[in-house]
């Protein structure tokens, strides 16, 4: 257990070090804090004096160490635009993104496992073929496009009047193809519940949940096909294995074979891939939040880019990097718990 | 009535562009407590035959014809639900590679208890007690500890002992063992085989042993089948076949054993190799490699003829028997 | 010379690839659609009714006209017009051209980087291997799109909007190429590791060939089919990445739009009911990516040696 933890944590620290170097390089290369702080009227000598005072003329290593030291203490600089510590700005926006990610993850979890398993157990069934076809198409639709289509269908609404309205079937077709619309497609609404600190949650009110529906479905739509395909492929391979055939030879019920013997082995690689996909999910939150003007860190980051708010960009990188590293480490630990061949229980073999 | 009687079994593989025949007209029987060997090169259909008995052939394989009578009931015609009651309960299996057979993410105890509970209404505690007694029986060191261990914590030999214990859990009538020692270290092979033999004798369990090792067959079994290209070409008393094989292929197999030659002499080899399922020759499938092959062998598959306690499918052998008969008749 | 080409054609016609292509309706349809779209993109200047880059041909009075079949449509603009009065058919043809160009360009760059690093890591092993693969791991765990967004953001911040717009095509090829190289490098490395064990490599070593010659002349040709499969899928990924970057405003400017920037500029008008400005380029993008993905799936099934038998 200890060796496993030490290995994982040292790896995490190494990755954080690389991220901080990159973040520092961006700050050093792009941000000239002087230009933001003082006007053009200041003379070159005065500028140099201020530079000296701020330590901008120190060797890079010294500057990096100061940067990293501040970062460890939670000081990631002041946002140009908001005029307050970047970490505070991020913490204000983070709950929105987390709730979006949680909503999408629940959708993914709820649908990918049953559909993937079903498609693996009955590969020839019509329903399986339908699911796999939909997943192939789904993987080819960019997340922002899904979001736009969802907005058109369920927020704006579609009125179809192609078919003759004076016939019964025409009317039926028209109304069957038309959609009502009306779901919110902008922001999180104003029915948020204050939980603690900067966390205002949309989970506890009808308005909050309604606002979450379209963004969460959009975000889930891009990862769901991926997981369905992955679970199906892994499960089909596991079903071919000797130990599944042996389980049948023991006369076990198909339910126990599929959902214990096969599924537990299927989920091992799925957990690993899931860990990697957390990174992808963060990237997709930027896109989803842009479409729905969802006030999370993704939208904040994009606005920071257009405003050239370098400290906020750098702080976002550091925080997102930290989230990646922590979630990946947790995923590794879960993997270790599920997979007995990874020793971390500390029990002697 | 034999405990298990296989009649005219055909197994095919459904592949693109038509079926491939994996087993053709397989017939044999197994009595209570009898030990039967099934030998042949890899690809001869031994494993397919073993797995088809409990209808566990992997897709796209399927039973295309014939009967598998267990206590008079046809397993080939049974539903999955009925078959499940027999699998692991009345007929148990031992697979080839103990590294692949046990589920890596479930503890030994779980995998033993579930096998009992699939067939008996019994508490987990009692099931564990049965599991423990069987682990004791296969002479595994510190059996209590094994129940909570995972497969990867056990050596190959120990795992195969666990698998033998699982086979014995419900006191089956038949154990089908598919090359149970091939994947093990040579030093452990004899140990495991001796254990299996001892336990089968003790409980009067019938054993169907699939192997390519003629030495093992001669030590363990009373009767044997020789398979070639999906057919049984010779079957009968193990002692008679080993001492005086009739079929040219069986003779070749026995002559290829190292101890048959003189030290320093080149080992005997049967020329050529077994045909793949995709192009099985007409007539007797062995004829392209057989030095006695005639036009007749190329055209039709020979019928079985009886020689002593052995049935052989070979024209050469039947011709010899005919000649002997003629000579005896003419002498009289 | 002609005999050589004929025999090569004959060999292709006898190959398993051609045999399974003929039998797979989805592959045939996908291939035809892709060829059609590539041809339309390549010949966009000849096919497009108007030149969307030429301001003189645009009339703001024609803005937001719906596609043919809806009330208020103008037959001169079969797919309608956008908010600036540009002909949608023309902008889509040119946009497809830009998207495909970036997609192919980025995959060529990825392939060069991926093959080079994959060969080095696989063949040399040891420290080179562990460093390169660790970089690849970290980059992949960050997700390629995330890396592309960050690099794009840095570029945009350092070049400024105007300058970025001018060199956007090259920037996007660079960003996506650099962000996605680990995918190909890993594949190459895996097949190099498998190939390295084979006897012909030992034979080449015994014959005294140099490392570089063995890597490129002996091992590389044997790893081409997995590279080919993954490169196909990567084109689709690159096109999606480009569209995502453009949608975020980190990609092609609206003056020289790709499909992604067309979707972005149309999105502002969706609330006012002009759905076609964003959804028609969106549909074209999906069809383009879908047919490439379907061909990729088919290639993987056909070329995967594990599935080859049977």
Contact between chains at A136 and C290 (C-beta distance less than 8 A): yes
User: How distant is the alpha carbon of residue B238 from its chain centre?
Assistant: 14
Q: What is the pLDDT, as a whole number, of residue B327?
A: 86
What does the alpha-carbon distance between residue A86 and residue A74 come to, in Å, rounded to a whole number? 10
What does the alpha-carbon distance between residue A193 and residue A199 come to, in Å, rounded to a whole number? 8
Could you say which residues of chain A have pLDDT below 50? 344-349
Contact between chains at B95 and A349 (C-beta distance less than 8 A): no
Q: What is the pLDDT, as a whole number, of residue C8?
A: 67
Residue A16 near residue A10 (C-beta atoms within 8 A)? no
| Mean pLDDT across C98-108 | 93
Residue C86 near residue C65 (C-beta atoms within 8 A)? no
Nearest CA in chain B to A246: B101
Residue B213 near residue B38 (C-beta atoms within 8 A)? no
Of B101, B118, B153, which is closest to A243 when you measure between CB atoms?
A: B101
Q: What is the pLDDT, as a whole number, of residue A344?
A: 47
| Token pair for C263 | 């979707």
| Token pair for B165 | 């214990």
Q: Given a cut of 70, is residue B149 above it in pLDDT?
A: yes
User: Which residues are within 8 A (CB) of B256 and not within 5 positions of it... i.e. 6 or more apart?
Assistant: B267, B268, B269, B270
Q: Given a cut of 90, is residue B307 above it in pLDDT?
A: no
Please state the length of chain C. 310
B288 to chain A nearest CA, in Å?
35
- For C306, the 3-state DSSP assignment is helix
What does the alpha-carbon distance between residue B72 and residue C237 come to, in Å, rounded to a whole number? 61
Kindly compute the dihedral angle of the four CA atoms of residues A233, A237, A239, A245, in this order, to the nearest 10 degrees.
180
Which residues in B179-230 belong to E strands, given as ranges? 206-210, 223-228
| Token pair for A224 | 């769901």
Bridge partners for B74 per DSSP: B69
Return the closest-CA partner of residue A116 out of A225, A43, A261.
A225
Q: What is the pLDDT, as a whole number, of residue A185?
A: 80
Q: What is the pLDDT, as a whole number, of residue B58?
A: 81
Q: Given a cut of 70, is residue B187 above it in pLDDT?
A: yes
Residue B131 near residue B184 (C-beta atoms within 8 A)? no
ipTM of the shown complex? 0.90
Chain B CB within 8 Å of residue A245 CB: yes
DSSP assigned state of C253 = -
Chain A CB within 8 Å of residue B87 CB: yes
Q: Given a cut of 90, is residue C277 above it in pLDDT?
A: no
B103 to chain A nearest CA, in Å?
5
Chain A CB within 8 Å of residue B166 CB: yes
Which of residues C65 and A84 earns the better pLDDT score? A84
Identify the helix (H) or strand (E) that includes residue A295: none
**C35: how many CB neighbours lie within 10 A of its CB?**
11
Return the closest-CA partner of residue B65 out of B81, B78, B77.
B77
What does the alpha-carbon distance between residue C103 and residue C215 come to, in Å, rounded to a whole number? 27
Q: What is the pLDDT, as a whole number, of residue B261?
A: 57
Domain boundaries, chain C: 81-303
pLDDT above 70 coverage of chain C, percent: 88
**B281: how many CB neighbours lie within 10 A of its CB?**
14
Q: What is the pLDDT, as a whole number, of residue A35?
A: 60
Return the closest-CA partner of residue A290 out of A298, A282, A280.
A298
In a mutational test of the B interface, the residue from A243, A269, A335 whose CB has the highest number of chain B CBs within 10 Å is A243
B25 to chain A nearest CA, in Å?
24
Q: Given a cut of 80, is residue C263 above it in pLDDT?
A: yes
Of C153, C243, C271, which is closest to A142 when you measure between CB atoms?
A: C243
What does the alpha-carbon distance between residue A279 and residue A13 come to, in Å, rounded to a whole number? 17
Residue A86 near residue A35 (C-beta atoms within 8 A)? no
Chain B CB within 8 Å of residue A253 CB: yes
Angle of CA points B7, B10, B13, to nearest 5°? 155
Q: Given a cut of 80, is residue B254 above it in pLDDT?
A: yes
Residue A25 near residue A346 (C-beta atoms within 8 A)? no
Q: What is the pLDDT, as a whole number, of residue A349?
A: 33
Bridge partners for B15 per DSSP: B18
**Directed axis angle between helix A263-292 and helix C144-159, to 10°?**
30
Q: pLDDT tier at C310 (50, 70, 90 boundaries)?
A: very low
Q: Given a cut of 60, is residue C306 above it in pLDDT?
A: no
In a mutational test of the A interface, the residue from B102, B114, B148 whose CB has the highest number of chain A CBs within 10 Å is B114
Contact between chains at A140 and C286 (C-beta distance less than 8 A): yes
Q: For strand B35-39 and strand B223-228, is the pairing parallel, antiparallel, or unpaired?
A: parallel
Q: What is the pLDDT, as a whole number, of residue B151?
A: 92
Nearest CA in chain C to A320: C142
Angle of CA points A50, A53, A54, to nearest 5°? 85
Q: Given a cut of 50, is residue C210 above it in pLDDT?
A: yes
Of B58, B95, B118, which is closest to A246 when you measure between CB atoms?
A: B95
Lowest-confidence segment of B10-19, C13-22, C93-102 by average pLDDT: C13-22
Please give the model's pTM, rounded to 2 decimal places: 0.82
Chain A CB within 8 Å of residue B105 CB: yes
Question: Which chains border B (3 or more CB–CB pairs < 8 Å)?
Answer: A
Contact between chains at A140 and C149 (C-beta distance less than 8 A): no
Residue showing tokens 């013997």: A261
DSSP assigned state of B102 = S
What does the alpha-carbon distance between residue B93 and residue B65 come to, in Å, rounded to a whole number? 23
Residue showing tokens 């590293």: A325
What does the alpha-carbon distance between residue A141 and residue C298 come to, in Å, rounded to a whole number? 19
Q: pLDDT tier at B325 (50, 70, 90 boundaries)?
A: confident
Q: Which residues of A touch B51 (CB under 8 A)?
A: 245
pLDDT in tens, C126-181: 888 888 888 887 787 777 788 888 888 888 777 776 677 778 888 889 989 988 88
Decide yes or no: CATH 1.10.1060.10 for domain C81-303: no
Residue B137 near residue B198 (C-beta atoms within 8 A)? no
């Amino acid at each position: 257990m200890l060796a496993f933890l030490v290995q994982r944590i040292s790896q995490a620290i190494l990755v954080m070090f690389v991220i901080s170097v990159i973040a520092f390089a961006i700050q050093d290369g792009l941000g000239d804090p002087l230009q933001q702080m003082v006007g053009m009227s200041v003379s070159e000598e005065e500028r140099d004096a201020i530079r000296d005072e701020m330590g901008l003329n120190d060797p890079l290593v010294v500057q990096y160490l100061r940067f990293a030291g501040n970062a460890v203490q939670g000081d990631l600089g002041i946002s140009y635009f908001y005029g307050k510590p970047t970490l505070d700005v991020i913490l204000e926006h983070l709950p929105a993104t987390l709730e979006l990610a949680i909503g999408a993850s629940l959708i993914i979890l709820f649908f990918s496992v049953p559909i993937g398993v079903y498609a693996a157990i009955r590969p020839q069934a019509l329903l399986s073929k339908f699911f796999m076809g939909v997943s192939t198409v789904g993987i080819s639709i960019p997340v922002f496009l899904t979001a736009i289509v969802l907005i058109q269908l369920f927020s704006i609404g579609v009125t179809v009047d192609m078919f003759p309205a004076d016939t019964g079937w025409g009317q039926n077709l028209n109304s069957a193809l038309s959609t009502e619309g009306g779901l919110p497609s902008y922001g999180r609404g104003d029915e948020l519940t204050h939980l603690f600190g900067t966390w205002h949650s949309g989970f506890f009110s009808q308005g909050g949940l309604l606002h979450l529906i379209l963004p969460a479905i959009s975000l889930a739509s891009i990862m769901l096909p991926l997981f369905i395909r992955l679970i199906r492929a892994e499960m089909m391979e596991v079903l071919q294995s000797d130990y599944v055939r042996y389980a049948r030879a023991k006369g076990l019920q198909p339910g126990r074979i599929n959902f214990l013997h096969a599924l537990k082995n299927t989920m091992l690689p799925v957990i690993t891939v899931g860990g990697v996909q957390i990174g992808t999910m963060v990237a997709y939150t930027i896109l989803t939040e842009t479409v729905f003007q969802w006030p999370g860190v993704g939208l904040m980051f994009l606005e920071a880019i257009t405003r050239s708010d370098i400290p906020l960009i750098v702080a976002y990188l550091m925080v997102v990097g930290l989230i990646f590293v922590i979630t990946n480490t947790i995923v590794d630990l879960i993997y270790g718990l599920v997979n007995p061949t990874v020793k971390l229980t500390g029990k002697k073999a | 009535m034999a405990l298990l009687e296989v009649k005219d079994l055909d197994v095919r593989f459904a592949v693109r562009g038509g079926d491939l025949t994996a087993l053709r007209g397989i017939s044999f029987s197994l009595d209570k407590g009898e030990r039967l060997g099934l030998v042949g090169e890899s690809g001869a259909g031994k494993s397919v035959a073993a797995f088809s008995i409990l209808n566990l052939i992997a897709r796209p394989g399927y039973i295309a014809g014939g009967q598998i009578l267990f206590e008079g009931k046809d397993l080939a015609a049974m539903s999955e639900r009925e078959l499940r009651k027999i699998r692991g309960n009345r007929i148990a299996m031992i697979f080839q590679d103990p590294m692949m057979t046990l589920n890596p993410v479930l503890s030994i105890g779980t995998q033993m208890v579930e096998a009992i509970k699939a067939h008996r209404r019994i508490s987990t505690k009692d099931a564990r007690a049965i599991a423990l007694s069987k682990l004791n029986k296969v002479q595994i060191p510190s059996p209590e500890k094994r129940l909570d261990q995972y497969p990867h914590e056990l050596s190959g030999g120990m795992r195969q002992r666990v698998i033998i214990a699982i086979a014995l859990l419900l006191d089956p009538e038949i154990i089908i063992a598919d090359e149970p020692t091939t994947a093990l270290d040579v030093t452990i092979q004899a140990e495991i085989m001796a254990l299996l033999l001892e336990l089968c004798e003790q409980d009067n369990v019938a054993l169907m042993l699939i192997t390519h090792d003629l030495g093992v067959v001669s030590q363990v079994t009373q009767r044997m089948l020789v398979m070639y290209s999906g057919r049984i070409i010779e079957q009968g008393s193990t002692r008679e076949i080993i001492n005086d094989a009739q079929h040219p292929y069986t003779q070749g197999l026995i002559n290829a054993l190292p101890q048959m030659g003189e030290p320093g002499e080149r080992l005997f080899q049967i020329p050529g190799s077994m045909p793949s399922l995709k192009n099985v020759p007409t007539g007797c499938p062995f004829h392209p490699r057989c030095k006695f092959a005639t036009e007749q062998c190329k055209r039709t598959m020979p019928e079985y003829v009886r020689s002593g306690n052995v049935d052989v499918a070979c024209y050469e052998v039947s011709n010899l028997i005919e000649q002997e008969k003629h000579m005896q008749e003419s002498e009289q | 010379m002609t005999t050589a080409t004929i025999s090569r054609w004959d060999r292709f016609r006898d190959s398993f690839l051609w045999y399974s292509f003929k039998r797979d309706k989805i592959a045939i349809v996908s291939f035809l659609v892709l060829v059609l779209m590539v041809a339309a993109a390549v010949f966009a200047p000849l096919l497009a009714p108007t030149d969307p880059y030429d301001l003189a041909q645009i009339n703001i009075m024609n803005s937001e006209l719906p596609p043919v079949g809806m009330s208020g449509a103008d037959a001169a603009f079969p797919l309608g017009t956008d908010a600036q009065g540009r002909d949608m058919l023309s902008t889509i043809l040119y946009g497809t051209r830009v998207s495909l160009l970036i997609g192919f360009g980025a995959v060529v760059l990825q392939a060069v980087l991926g093959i080079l690093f994959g060969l080095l890591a696989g063949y040399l092993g040891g420290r080179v291997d562990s460093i390169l693969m660790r970089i690849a791991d970290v980059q992949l765990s960050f997700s390629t799109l995330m890396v592309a967004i960050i690099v794009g953001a840095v570029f945009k911040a350092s070049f400024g909007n105007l300058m970025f717009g001018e060199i956007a095509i090259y920037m996007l090829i660079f960003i996506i190429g650099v962000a996605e190289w680990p995918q190909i490098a890993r594949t190459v490395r895996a097949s190099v590791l498998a190939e390295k064990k084979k006897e012909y490599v030992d034979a080449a070593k015994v014959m005294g060939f140099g490392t570089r010659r063995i890597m490129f002349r002996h091992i590389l040709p044997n790893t081409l089919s997995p590279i080919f499969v993954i490169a196909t899928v990567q084109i689709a990924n690159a096109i999606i990445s480009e569209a995502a970057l453009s949608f975020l405003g980190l990609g092609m400017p609206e003056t020289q739009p790709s499909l992604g920037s067309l979707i972005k500029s149309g999105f502002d008008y969706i609330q006012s009911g002009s759905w076609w400005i964003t959804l028609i380029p969106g549909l074209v993008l999906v069809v383009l990516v879908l047919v490439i993905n379907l061909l990729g799936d088919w290639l993987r099934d056909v070329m995967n040696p594990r599935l080859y038998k049977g």
